[in-house]
Structure 1
Amino acid sequence: MNIRADSPFSRRARWTLLACAVALSACGGDSDSDPVGGGDPDPAPPVARSGGWTHGDLHVHTFQSDDAQVSLESVLDDGFDRYQLDWMALSNHLRLSGRDHTGTSLQGGAIPFSRGLVDYEKPYVEQAQAEGRYQGKTVFSTVEWDMPSHDHVNIGIGLDDPYGEDSLRAVAQFEYLFTNRDPVLFDPALVASLSDQTRAYSTHADSLKALAWLRDRHPDSYMLLNHPNRYMNKYTVAQLREMNDLAPEIFFAIEGMVGNQMEPDRGGYVEAYTDANLTSRTYGGTDYIVAKLGGPWDALLGEGRRIWTVANSDYHFTTAQGRYSSGYAPGEYAKTYVWLEDDARTPADLLAALRGGRLFGVFGDLIDALDFQAEGAGDGAVMGGELSVANGDQVTVTIRFRSPESNHYEYPLESGHRVNARPVVDHVDLIAGDVTAPAAPGDAGYAEAANPSTRVVARFNANDWTVGEDGFATITHTLTVTGDQYLRLRGTNLAPNVAGETVDGEPQPDRKVDLGNDAARFDAINARNYNDLWFYSNPIFVTVEG
């Protein structure tokens, strides 16, 4: 729905000193490392465009998820008014819920999500619209589904009109068909209308059936893979290929920059901290699938698959009962930026833009704009796009980014006291990988989770970019194309070698913050997160003609 009405040496004290130091040095620092690769002094002309960057969150919970502790009103107020998001996807669990959107217990007992959507979420959003709140903002409903035999995915159904009657009915149908809810919880007429369809909620094959159902019946829908490696062996890369082959317009995104960043185990990645479980850790807050250079995401991109990465909050609460912490509010720490054309602000517009791939994810407001383009032989392409060139042609890559004056780092946590630390990019990596034909099911390559060709083509620091009056840092780099490839970016506030954080520029596994004092633990987690900021772009594909 488019809402338009527009102790001194105690452990605690030591962490206090650390956090104060972080306030001065975290979120920034210049690098003295030498650049890698050559530069081009003349920027390529910008690709013609209209529109601008918008930012939002695709993974936000409210009281209607029984593990959340925030009202719908507070979520929207924080996201839209306090942190100035442009759009937001509400994504409560596709489970039974015993509370309404305000946290009030339901007298008749728990109800299915689809009923709570109709009885509570939709009316509140419509009321807010009628009252003229959240002017110019876009909000819509999705569900976080316990995908059979896997983990959580967000399903957005019917984005042409997400609160319309047809979409609401489709959500109820999906919940009935692809969960084990008792049929008596649903409208008998809806159950009767689905008598010719078999319920499916146990196996990987059932997951594929649900994907096909969305593809065939509700193509204005999507599936987002949430915190994919939170638990070991929940997905194989072959299964990801299978899902993308089955429904490429439905499954095209991975929550690589995961939410729940205020968990002691960053992102809620709670598998034992052993070498055997290193794939089930975050690296600079980012899931291994995306953070590992030449890892699973690069293996998928190396087949030319249009699978993008996003950044979300997975917001349930920040702290609760003074004992627990979970994640940041929507817009506070994690953002996904999506380029939207002028006057294109509906959920359907957002879905089209997400599919197009002109988007990037960022933590802690390290940057708030990123123009990334490749230009050759008079043609150009931006993130998500494809540039066609002749073998041996030179391609000029232009990178323009901007950092805001400050981010939302607070000390102490939830005190309202802004540190006003300015985020500073230390370096930006231009990464390339070769693209080959997609592996076929049954081939050995279908299970390949690595792309050995992936490499850092160039590393740029402040010695390599110029900053204009508009605050944008500009980098150019020229490379010679000798085969099909993709180009992508990552950037960080950390130098390439920081003990416990980076080695030769590669992010290292995040460590658990394990302090007995609750408040000290909260502040230490917060300092950890704001001292370790990243952004990841999505790729540009460069294809050799013929």
Structure 2
Amino acid sequence: MSFLFPRNTRASLLSAITLATFLSACGGSGSSSSPAPEPTPEPTPEPQPTGSWSAGDLHVHTYQSDDAQVSLESVLEDAFTRYDLDWLTISNHLRTSYRDHDGAELGESIPFYQALIDHEMPYLKQALEQDRYPGALIYSSFEWDMPTHDHVNVGIGMDAPMSEANLRAVAEFEYLFTTRDAGLFDPALVERLGDQPRANTTHEDALTALRWLRDNHPDSYMLLNHPSRYTGKYTIAQIREMHDLAPDQFFAIEGMVGNQMEPDRGGYAEAYVEENLSSRTYGGTDYLVAQLGGTWDALLGEGRRIWNLANSDYHFTTAQGRYSSGYAPGEYAKTYVWKDGEDASALLEGLRGGRLFGVFGDLIDALEFRAANGDRGTVMGGTLNAAPGDQVTVTIRFRSPETNHYEYPLESGQSAYMKPTVDHVDLIVGDVQAPARPDSVAYQSASNPSTRVLARFTANDWTVDEDGYSVITHTFTASGDQYLRLRGTNLAVNVPGQMKDGEPLPDAKVEVANDAARFDAINARNYNDLWFYSNPIFITAE
């Protein structure tokens, strides 16, 4: 699926030619016959961006993860046949596997890279060769237990993620940066890496792994998953440190987390006490991103290109009739990325570029966010030059589908025919300062006091164009280095237990004794609390 939007083009400029010059050039009356001045040439038009919107999921598990209950085949069917995604990343845990991609017991535990070689990769290659999912982009990554922290997704070698060289790189990473017994690995690999120390227990080891990616496989990424699920797993100083070390690899946060079918939304199960409010989700979104003026805004307020996205973290929806975990890929959470090309390297460049947004429950399925200063403009992820006092015009176009995937009862296949509707959209602005130095107090600060809602728009503030897109236009005066971002929701600005004065409240645990009733209550909670978050546009003072 793709959405293409009309682009503004710069008007052509032609020099005026005076009547006297015209007559002279034609031999008409006049004194001397000096040659007519050359017309000013038309300026070269601004190059128009190529590419299209695409939707996908970077965080999906199968039976090869020890805590998952779904086959690789069912995951692919859900993603591409049922929910119409364009790309998908299989990201099983970087742990030993005792089952294959269909759930069959192996009789032994094997390292992740061996399971990848023997089971996951052959199935994916066969699916691609047989063109079961035309036009789909599929590749393997992994979810690593980062030492002293929580989980990160690692995509190695995006220039050729299904190649033999990539498989060797995955095996090397697993050997160097996990506590796996060396006896589980190919002896030739162990011998080849014998002079490199294994790094798998400290924060410094985590940095060593990131540095290894940067230096050996720059066409890779490391995505920070569900960052606040457990208290104290990351400080903002550590996040800054990782971004300083490898900004082209460490550039994204899974702020719109998966596992939304957990009673503790997102699996954020720390005790429900005031001191753990930073380890809650807010409208299904990690506190790190959801808090206005919080950690994400502090990072953006240094001009850091760190983007937010949405994933499913799919393990299973329900299991044994007692447990629930998350939605299938494409069912509830989507990340939309503008990419130019069909392969994994194009996806990586799209992710790095920041023209992406995350959404829950198909609240919207298209978003164009643009800022312009006169005839100069840019989109999400871009930078606009504007002197203080310049008038900056923001244009927002979004569309909601006719229905989303809300079922009742859950997993019945019976659609509830819910039409998602945006109640309001917030245009958020924050000031940008120079990045804090590592030895400064500011490096430890997780707030940006300048962040505020610049404008809030409801249906009274937008029009609907002929293509069915809601259109908002807003002009404000630039005041220096700033960034702009959007968030939107189906909730009114004050909803008891969910929203107060436009700010999301911490999600409550669903506590219903009957299993089936609890599943339906969780599902209803999620579909009645929908959000989208854009990524920012930066404004740089001229």
| TM-score normalised according to structure 2 size | 0.91
1:132 aligns with 2:135: no
2:43 is aligned to none
What whole-Å deviation, never above 9, does each CA across 1:388-444 have from its counterpart, x for those lacking one?
112211100000000000000000000000011100000000000000000010100
2:443 aligned to 442, 446, 454, which one?
446
**Superposition deviation, residue 318 in structure 1:** 0.1
Once residues 404 and 484 of structure 1 are traced to their aligned partners in structure 2, the CA distance between those partners, rounded to angstroms, is 36
1:40 is aligned to none
Q: Quote the RMSD (CA, aligned, Å).
A: 1.1
2:513 is aligned to 516
SS in 2 for 1:125: helix
1:65 aligns with 2:65: yes
2:385 is aligned to 388
2:257 is aligned to 258
1:112 aligns with 2:130: no
1:349 is aligned to 346
2:309 is aligned to 310
**Superposition deviation, residue 44 in structure 1:** 9.4
What whole-Å deviation, never above 9, does each CA across 1:4-31 have from its counterpart, x for those lacking one?
xxxxxxxxxxxxxxxxxxxxxxxxxxxx
Describe how 1:344-493 pairs up with structure 2 within 5 A: 344-493=341-490
1:148 aligns with 2:152: no
- Tell which structure's C-alpha radius of gyration is larger: 2
1:293 is aligned to 292
SS in 1 for 2:251: strand
2:92 partner letter? N
Task: Decide whether the 8 Å contact of 2:339 with 2:349 is kept in 1.
Answer: no
1:209 aligns with 2:196: no
Task: Decide whether the 8 Å contact of 2:63 with 2:70 is kept in 1.
Answer: yes
| TM-score normalised according to structure 1 size | 0.91
2:271 is aligned to 272
SS in 1 for 2:105: coil
1:240 is aligned to 239
1:380 partner letter? G
**Superposition deviation, residue 377 in structure 1:** 3.0
**Superposition deviation, residue 468 in structure 1:** 1.3
What whole-Å deviation, never above 9, does each CA across 1:298-336 have from its counterpart, x for those lacking one?
000000000000000000000000000000000000000
* Larger displacement relative to structure 2 (125-134 or 313-322): 125-134
**Superposition deviation, residue 61 in structure 1:** 0.1
**Superposition deviation, residue 208 in structure 1:** 0.1
**Superposition deviation, residue 214 in structure 1:** 0.1
Once residues 493 and 70 of structure 1 are traced to their aligned partners in structure 2, the CA distance between those partners, rounded to angstroms, is 31
1:6 is aligned to none
1:31 is aligned to none
Task: Decide whether the 8 Å contact of 2:178 with 2:199 is kept in 1.
Answer: yes
SS in 1 for 2:479: coil
Aligned length: 500
* Structure having greater relative contact order (Cα 8 Å, sep ≥ 6): 1
What whole-Å deviation, never above 9, does each CA across 1:361-404 have from its counterpart, x for those lacking one?
00000000000000003211100000011221110000000000
Once residues 130 and 360 of structure 1 are traced to their aligned partners in structure 2, the CA distance between those partners, rounded to angstroms, is 31
Once residues 222 and 244 of structure 1 are traced to their aligned partners in structure 2, the CA distance between those partners, rounded to angstroms, is 11
SS in 2 for 1:233: coil
Task: Decide whether the 8 Å contact of 1:377 with 1:389 is kept in 2.
Answer: no
1:17 is aligned to none
Once residues 371 and 466 of structure 2 are traced to their aligned partners in structure 1, the CA distance between those partners, rounded to angstroms, is 23
Task: Decide whether the 8 Å contact of 1:44 with 1:375 is kept in 2.
Answer: no
SS in 2 for 1:309: strand
What whole-Å deviation, never above 9, does each CA across 1:238-280 have from its counterpart, x for those lacking one?
0000000000001000000000000000000000000000000
**Superposition deviation, residue 346 in structure 1:** 0.5
